Structure 1
């Protein structure tokens, strides 16, 4: 679980850095549509970085295989979802676009697995 914590913290830091980069350095380079895509990537990366921290904290309270799986799914989701959007914006290569939905599915799976962990944890109380 320490890897999930480290990735969440690093990902949060990178989302702030990339957000600033997008707002300043890319403002004159990207058209309005791609600026919006870049901002979506940053926003989703930050939200899911926070989710990783929440998963880590839940795991400390109640260790669960579901929480561990949720963390790994969210990590893969961040890399595929936000990573493909960053790549799309920076290279303008359209083949990155079809990767994004797979990342979204991994993010949704992470939320679902975290929900399952909480539900199963309540059964023991």
Structure 2
């Protein structure tokens, strides 16, 4: 496992979970959280272990943290970076020429340009 998530692998081993059992536990927590069964599989766990997922979806990540009793960052996941707008944090809409919109009057087929 050269590029994989070693921290996650170590924690799974430490807790004594198989990949399938970890997926079942996460799904049970998702159901408690959302009221709907989760759909995490052992293939998802393998993808995480390979490093194919840098930051799991919120509900999955929260349940994973609960099951493994560790923060996602401590499990080797990397939070997504928030994009900042180049103008000091304020985003501006691109300037566009004004549109000519038609406003229809209730009369016989007349339109007025504004």
TM-score normalised over the length of structure 2: 0.26
Q: Which has the higher contact order (CA 8 A, sep 6+)?
A: 1
Normalized per residue, which structure has more helix?
A: 1
Normalized per residue, which structure has more strand?
A: 2
